[in-house]
Amino acid sequence: MKKINGYEFDTEFTPDQQREINEGIEAGLDVTVYAKPEFLAIQMREIRLGMLQKLPVERYAKIEYDWFQMSEIRSGLNSNLDVSKYEDPSIPFETMRQIRYGLEEGIDLSSGKKLPAGILKELRKSVKSKVDISEYIRQGYDEQQLEQIRIALEKGVDIAPYLSLCYRGAAIREICIGLEEKIDVSMYARTEMSWQQMREIRLGLEERLDAEIYVNPFYSWQQMREIRLGLEDNLPVEVYSSLMYTAKQMNKKRLALIEKNKNAAAGAFDDKEQYGDFSLLVSSDAMKASVVLNHRHKKISQEEIIRALKNNGVTHGIDYYAIGQIGEGKAPGDIVEVARGKEPGKGKDGWYEYFFETDVKGQPKLLDDGSVDFQNIKWFEIVKTGQKIAVYHPAENGVHGYRVTGEIVQGQKGRELKLLTGKGFILLPDNVTYIAEIDGKIELNDNRLEITNVLVLDDVTLSTGNIDFNGSVYVRGTVGDGTVIKAQKDILCDGFIESAVLEAGGDIILKNGNNAGGQGYLKAGRDVLGSFFENAKVTAGQNIRANYCLNSELNAGNAIEIMGKNGMLAGGYTYASQYVKACNIGNEAGIATKIKLGKREGFAAYEAELADRESSVDNELLLLKNAYYDFQRKYPAEIRNANPIYLKLEDAVYTKETEAGRLHEERVKLESDKRKYDRAKAVARGTVFPGTSMDINGVIWNAKRVKNVTVKKIGGSVSVHSNI
């Protein structure tokens, strides 16, 4: 008999199994539930964790469940889910996981438990995003294909006419990207093309290149790439675009053309021809010819020099004045340029002409009295269906030049710009004219043009009802008490905001302000801007800006700026991860003003949770690897490779290593955030008044009256520096 901490067992356990048994005994658990040799240590761990969570572990403490299946059932039980929907040893753990995720999201996928996990995953995501991929599942599309179809449907892209079971998921993605970018996907949406070939054609079309030159399925994608790169550099690709050349040979020829152009541009090498009293130099690019005199002041007949030029093929750009000076013995130097070609010109680059203001969202104007004018700023522009919004002017060819030998040098064509990407517009067949497809707000960010729906309202009150809109909302009047406005994009209000709820996926912009009386809230995915906030609750994913804030709760993912030379932040609670800037913080009355900077609320808990997850994954990975290596020690390859448990262990080690990698990425981001938090500060251009309390990464500073200072944490204490 084997005795472990008072328990007697009639079998031997591995060190990992003994450790799981010991930890259960130390926790006061009835370890006989799992202290069985048929359970691997990793299975024992799942049962032990369930017992610690006071779960009915008998539902999964069965040898027919592997450790991943046990984990999925345990997680479901811990979340009070109906695990009977997937409590079946014949269901792979990946499928169990998708059903569990669905139950957590209010979606019952148990009827599809016979489907592969990947397809079930896409079905779950499609239901969540309210698009229907069921028909494509019935048609037999695989997981990768369904993922791209789902993404296309979510983006509103009409992918159906181009679908084929012959396409891989990556090929469907290339077609979807092309449709999004308004290019002619029919040039490459062909079943005989690989997704890599599709990509090369798409990239060429995006750059407005003559991609038809290489739209040929007999080219490999690598050959296509070489031709595309040559077109981008305005090279004569016909020199190497023959199918007889491999991609490697094409690459060599393309690089040789580039090098030739560089050498020609440098004109560094000359061919020298010796005559009686002079030598003739012709540059390697034949753009100039010079005479090198043996005796500077010796007269040399013009005919002799011209004859030498002719013998060397120099016929253009001849400087007869310079030749005449040499003939008179008045050469300006020992080397005299006697012929010069004309450099080719570079054509004008392609450019877009826009028929709307491209930089509407400006900065509020600082007025003479120190306040900021939110009223007279144009925040966005609205266009109408069919309105011309942009025209592309193609790149122009450069003026031709010539060499001294008379050879014409082709002018360099300007560089084309990429097609505009985005949504809400149509590119006409001329491939240069863009028109609005819908009425809406137009925005240009870099190369992305978006027209989104705008709901325009007058006053919003309880009588008009709550608003939930999939675009932007523009309220020309006021927003009354108790009303709710939700918008996937931006919310802009001309009037006052009372105790209402405003939620925006983008910005919230108030031309006046918000006096909420402690009711309602404003929440934006990006910025919240307003003339003032009083007794308001404001949350911004990025920044908050206003003229003054009084007795409000402000939370900003990045920064808070109270603008103007009289800008005041007084009372309430303020949090920003990076900085708070204002003229005055607090007031003469000593109103309690609490400011928190740096680490966000719950950051320490998140950091601890991440550490726990890392530790747990490391422990699980160790158990899996030990069991995996134990199989390798005990059994020869031909036996263990036929053992399903060994094969599961092999997959499990890879899965856990992947999870450990993701956690490492989280750790890297967390450390980056910590460094950002460490730089948090408050800047007051005017006065910080008594009654102000600042918490900078856990260190408290209770203010005395100070002027024009920056407050930040240095070491373990708060430091106050003058801005002068």
Backbone angles phi, psi at 554, to 5 degrees: -115, 130
pTM: 0.70
pLDDT tens figures, 150-201: 999 998 899 999 999 999 999 999 999 999 888 999 999 999 999 999 999 9
Does residue 261 lie in a domain region? no
Parent domain of 586: 451-600+679-722
pLDDT at 267 over 70: no
The yes-or-no verdict on residue 361 having pLDDT over 70 is: no
Same structural domain, 323 and 370:
no
Q: Is residue 654 in a domain?
A: yes
Query: Looking at the predicted structure, is the pLDDT value of residue 664 above 80?
Result: yes
Q: Is residue 20 part of a domain?
A: yes
CB-count exposure of residue 481 (10 Å: 0-12, 13-18, 19+): middle
- Sign for the pseudo-dihedral over CA of 256, 262, 264, 266: negative
Confidence class of residue 268 from pLDDT cuts 50, 70 and 90? Answer: very low
Average pLDDT over residues 113-134: 94
Q: How far apart are CA 628 and CA 650, in angstroms?
A: 7
For the segment 610-614, the average pLDDT, to the nearest whole number, is: 93
Residues 402 and 525 both lie in one domain: no
Residue type present at position 334: D
Compute the distance between CA of residue 263 and CA of residue 255 in angstroms, rounded to an integer: 12
| Shared-domain flag, residues 85 and 199 | yes
Q: Answer with the one of 425, 443, 461 that is the final residue of a domain.
A: 443
pLDDT value of residue 297:
85
**Which pLDDT score is estimated for 566?**
80
Is the pLDDT at 277 greater than 60? The verdict is: yes
Assess whether 673 and 686 both reside in one domain: no
| Residues 672, 683 share a domain | no
Q: Is residue 336 part of a domain?
A: yes
Q: Which of 396, 425, 443 is the last residue of a domain?
A: 443
Would you say the C-alpha torsion 309, 313, 314, 320 has a positive or negative sign? positive
Residue pair 560/576 in contact (Cβ under 8 Å)? The answer is: yes
Please say if the pLDDT value at position 378 is more than 50: yes
| Residue 320 CA to its chain's centroid (Å) | 62
Checking 140-145 for CB contacts under 8 A at 24+ apart, the result is 140/165, 141/165, 142/118, 142/169, 143/116, 143/118, 143/119, 143/169, 144/118, 144/168, 144/169, 144/170, 145/169, 145/172
The arithmetic mean of pLDDT across residues 499-524, rounded, is 91
**In a shared domain, residues 396 and 413:** yes
pLDDT of residue 410: 84
Q: Say whether both 139 and 180 belong to one domain.
A: yes
Q: Per the domain annotation, does 170 fall within a domain?
A: yes
